[in-house]
Amino acid sequence: MSEQLDQDNIRPADEPIQSKEDIKKDFQGLLGSTKKFLSELLDIRTNTDQEATKEAIIADIPFKGHTSWILICSIFIASVGLNANSTAVVIGAMLISPLMGPILGMGMSLAINDIDTLRRSLKNLAVMVVLSVLTAYLFFAIFPLQEESSELLARTKPDIRDVLIAFFGGLALVIARAKKGTIASVIFGVAIATALMPPLCTVGFGLAIGNWSYVGGALLLFGINTIFIALATFLVLKLLRFPMVRYANSKRRRLIARLVSLTALAVMIPAGWIFWGVYQEFRFMSDANKFIQENVAPYKFTKDGRFLKDLSVLNYKRDKASTIELIFMGNEGVPESVIATWESNMKQNFDDLDNCELKVIQGSQSEQGSQLKYVEELYRSQKSELLGKDEKIRLLETELKRLSKLNARQIPFQDISAEAQTNYENLEYLAFSNAIRTDFKKLDTVSVFEAKWKRDAKRVDIVKDAKKLHSWLKVRLKDSTILLTEIIQD
């Protein structure tokens, strides 16, 4: 029986289990199926309407008639939204702004060597930008903001995220434009995300108040949006292999090809420069925050000290030494040895902070009045940075209240003693000190005055004057918790 089973398990020599060639064919088939699936999933060329896309982009380039009035309306809406600090109104201005048309026209004309379309796009974009800035300037000159709003300040300091938003927003926009049956929701979403109109309104505001840092920051943001949307358009249309514009004259065709290539290069160079700059700033900010989190924040004070992390300033400079400014408050300072350790760790463990300067600003030792003055100055100097950042404003207000309370307890003792001596002839001398009092539930600081009366004064007069002096001190110093004690004569 066992011999029969063994014979059944023996395969003929001409029936191998599976050859290497069969395994290879199966693997190639799997790769082919995967490639086909991904091609069907991601390929956009089969559903692209090239002629309709070109016509739609070219139709949005001209700036006249209806388009000019739409632009003027969107400028006013954006300016009002910035003035009122209304996100919804600013979004409305983004949706109706026609600025996207010439930018797409620039990207398309570079991709297909269309010099005439490029010329019209640049001219119309320049006119739109000038008109937008001029209108915003006039608006803010007539209706100035009381103070900078968070919506406005958000457009003055672009970073790496704005570059990514502009580039991927441009990709989404041109892909939606190229699809048969344009996806309107994508176009609206990109208009909101890339926000072309608010930066130009911020430029007008900066010119109206004479703040050139606002002008420069907002122009940089608008430049980032413009360049990277055009770049995304150029890349997508090249990928979709849009046909190049044909010219009858071969010499003219070569000339135009060179001009377009030079223009594309001129766009790519600032795009790369801007991207590298904001990327370097992003790395600096990331390392600086990590350094603070790992080294400064864990430091423990033994007495009255406090690190104001949210008020610390990270100042990135591209061509100069960047700075990290740490703010401390309280009656206890950070030892020099600790600061030296922080500087050593910063330069050794963080490559992007190697040339950074560490500044440590500490509150005056036991000088509440000086601390209060410093915090008030800090609030004014950093006000534009803090607007729209509620947690920082609350922190400043809390610190101001605390220091104001301490400052209010500063007794003008020299004036008080002179007035008391004039009003109470039996008073020999007056002393003052702060004392800590507790009801075993909480601690409180109270002001204590000690009065010593002349030996020849009658007891009834001393009691009467002491009562009047106590009441006068409470009213004079506006503090109902003041205590008055009598020094017993020897």
Determine the structural domain holding residue 27 and report its residue range: 2-39
Mean pLDDT is lowest, of 71-80, 233-242, 260-269, for: 260-269
268 belongs to a structural domain: no
Domain identity same for 28 and 164:
no
Does the pLDDT at position 473 exceed 80? yes
Domain identity same for 212 and 304:
no
Domain identity same for 237 and 200:
yes
Domain count, the chain: 4
144 belongs to a structural domain: yes
- pLDDT number for residue 354: 79
377 belongs to a structural domain: yes
Domain identity same for 470 and 356:
no
Does the pLDDT at position 232 exceed 50? yes
Task: Examine the fold and report which residue of 363, 386, 408 is the final residue of a domain before the chain moves on.
Answer: 408
Q: pLDDT digit string (tens) for 311-342?
A: 777 888 877 778 888 888 766 778 888 888 88
Under the banding of pLDDT at 50, 70 and 90, the label for residue 264 is low
Domain identity same for 216 and 315:
no
345 belongs to a structural domain: yes
Domain identity same for 316 and 229:
no
Does the pLDDT at position 270 exceed 50? yes
Domain identity same for 141 and 69:
yes
> Which is more confident, 296 or 396?
296
272 belongs to a structural domain: no
> What's the predicted TM-score (pTM) here?
0.58
277 belongs to a structural domain: no
Domain identity same for 136 and 150:
yes
Q: Nearest 5°: CA angle at 376, between 372 and 379?
A: 140
- pLDDT number for residue 2: 46
Q: What are phi and psi of 480, to 5 degrees?
A: -75, -5
* pLDDT more than 90, % of the chain: 0
Arithmetic mean of pLDDT, 4-24: 56
Euclidean distance between CA atoms 112 and 99, whole angstroms: 21
259 belongs to a structural domain: no
> Which is more confident, 290 or 389?
290
Arithmetic mean of pLDDT, 246-265: 69
Q: Find out whether 156 and 218 touch, Cβ atoms under 8 Å.
A: yes
Q: pLDDT digit string (tens) for 153-204?
A: 666 677 677 778 888 887 887 887 777 765 555 555 666 666 677 888 888 8
- pLDDT number for residue 5: 45
Q: pLDDT digit string (tens) for 430-461?
A: 888 777 777 777 767 778 888 888 888 888 88
Task: Examine the fold and report which residue of 357, 380, 408 is the final residue of a domain before the chain moves on.
Answer: 408
479 belongs to a structural domain: yes
Domain identity same for 93 and 28:
no
Domain identity same for 321 and 451:
no
Quote the mean pLDDT of the chain: 75
User: What residues contact 141, with CB distance under 8 A and at least 6 apart?
Assistant: 208
Q: pLDDT digit string (tens) for 308-319?
A: 777 777 888 877
Domain identity same for 163 and 82:
yes
Under the banding of pLDDT at 50, 70 and 90, the label for residue 149 is low
CATH of residue 452's domain is 3.30.70
Domain identity same for 362 and 239:
no
Does the pLDDT at position 362 exceed 60? yes
* pLDDT more than 70, % of the chain: 72
- pLDDT number for residue 349: 84
